[in-house]
Amino acid sequence: MKSKLLTPELHRQHLELTRRYFMQLGAMGIAAMSTLPLRAKDSDEVLLADVTEDLEYLTQANEFGTVERGKPLPYKLPLEKRLELGLERKTWKLEVIPDPKSNTQITNPLSRKKGNALDFEALMKLAETHSVKFLKIMSCNNMSKPLGMGLWEGVPLRHVIWKTNPQANIRRVFYYGHHNEDPKQLFQSSLPIGRALEDPPGDHPVILCYKLNGQWLSGRRGGPVRMLVPDAYGFKSVKWLKSVILTNNYQANDTYAGGNNDIASWMKTMARFIYLPRREKANEPIAVTGLVQVGVGSLSKVQVWITPQDKAWREDDPYFTKAPWQDAQILPPPTNWGGDLPEGKLPADVLGFTKEGKPKHWPMRYAIAHWATLIKGMKPGKYFVYCRTIDSKGNAQPMPRPFKKSGRNAIQKTEIEIG
């Protein structure tokens, strides 16, 4: 059984949820969930509202997967040292300066040397009028499952850039985290200036992030302040942020470029299994559930395909585009978002949500969606089970793509024995 695909706590809650979901469906004598009309009847609405009640969509701060470098890790330094280095809110400072190797012109650099770098108080002053909150999945392009989803809060980076009074010759923003003054430990990333200054339709701003799920960002999660790039994989979201450099260099400086990664890729849509029994009796309905990382292409369908292990698939179709995929059901947004939010409720001012806390679209890009289905009428034997997504344009995601480095999103394969 592929069970440890989420954090243990999330997994436990998902099992609890789906067990109740499937029990109720059984009691109602519904043939298959994929044929269940989502909003057709009040009773379905009630049923779905009930069963999604306990499911955690937001990951608790300490349950996130972590990708980090640093010896020692900055947040494990003694408090005194952290205060000295500006790794606490009390002493944190961000410099926003021109690249000395470039011809960038700004008339008001915020510099540590000049003593006018942006401190936390000044960031909070900006937050009074400019702070935003949104959901985002943290996902490493090199990993097969998301690290977690957060409700992130911050000030759009552009407000800090405007403070420097930019004049000319800026094409990129370079930014750096604290790495013990050791060049080998440096973790850096960059964006085109245009992405910092404007957001594509429907996208959220790049933010200087200081809160996760309503709490101050912990050192482990990159606090006091990390960059957060909503549409990108995790490596753009630099932790322990201390420097922003405006440059006329048109080339990326990203640490991840050195790892053979496509550093300009948007987050991709992909489906993962969460729950699938390892064994099931013949002709018993098989409950299957999972999650979707909803990427730039959004999501219209989740599909599952079960096929006997001893029957090889046609060699001319390595991505199973012609396989008899079955639609699963995408679960509606939850009423309880989890993540240690009080009563699981989102605050009133989350981007993409109405004042009543309802998402304007669902599934929502860069947020997680859950799915479930029943596979019925299986005969004894060993099977492979696959899951995939269809994006909003009707393309199977992952599209046929033999390489991983622009974001790993393979069609997941698992096994079941019926007998």
Using CB under 6 A, list all residues that contact ligand MTE.
64-69, 138, 140, 147, 177, 187, 221-222, 234-235, 237-240
Closer to ligand MTE at the Cβ: 20 or 220? 220
Closer to ligand MTE at the Cβ: 187 or 266? 187
The least CB distance from residue 313 to ligand MTE, in Å, is: 33
Sort 105 into a burial class: Cβ within 10 Å, 0-12 / 13-18 / 19+.
middle
Closer to ligand MTE at the Cβ: 237 or 289? 237
The least CB distance from residue 142 to ligand MTE, in Å, is: 8
Q: Strand, coil or helix: what is 100?
A: coil
> Which among ligand MTE, Mo ion, none contacts residue 187 (Cβ within 5 to 8 A by kind)?
ligand MTE
Do the Cβ atoms of 359 and 353 come closer than 8 Å?
yes
**Distance between CA atoms of 136 and 14, rounded to whole angstroms?**
20
Cis peptide before 398 (omega within 30 of 0): yes
Q: Tell the residue number behind the tokens 């992030």, with chain if given.
A: 209
Do the Cβ atoms of 14 and 68 come closer than 8 Å?
no
Contact window for Mo ion (CB under 5 A) among 60-68, 76-84, 176-184, 347-355 = 60-68
| Of 235, 275, 320, 353, the one binding Mo ion by CB under 5 A | 235
Contact window for Mo ion (CB under 5 A) among 13-21, 65-73, 186-194, 247-255 = 65-73
What DSSP string describes 157-195?
HHHHHHHT-EEE---EEEEEE--TT-GGG--EEEEEHHH
Cα–Cα nearest to 223, from 286, 273, 290, 153: 153
| Strand boundaries in 16-85, DSSP class E | none
Regarding 234 and contact with Mo ion (CB under 5 A), the answer is yes
Regarding 140 and contact with Mo ion (CB under 5 A), the answer is yes
Contact window for Mo ion (CB under 5 A) among 36-44, 216-224, 231-239, 301-309 = 231-239
Regarding 222 and contact with Mo ion (CB under 5 A), the answer is no
| Of 15, 67, 323, 351, the one binding Mo ion by CB under 5 A | 67
Q: Strand, coil or helix: what is 416?
A: strand
Contact window for Mo ion (CB under 5 A) among 52-60, 138-146, 282-290, 323-331 = 138-146
Cis peptide before 333 (omega within 30 of 0): no
Q: Which residues bind Mo ion (CB under 5 A)?
A: 67, 140, 234-235
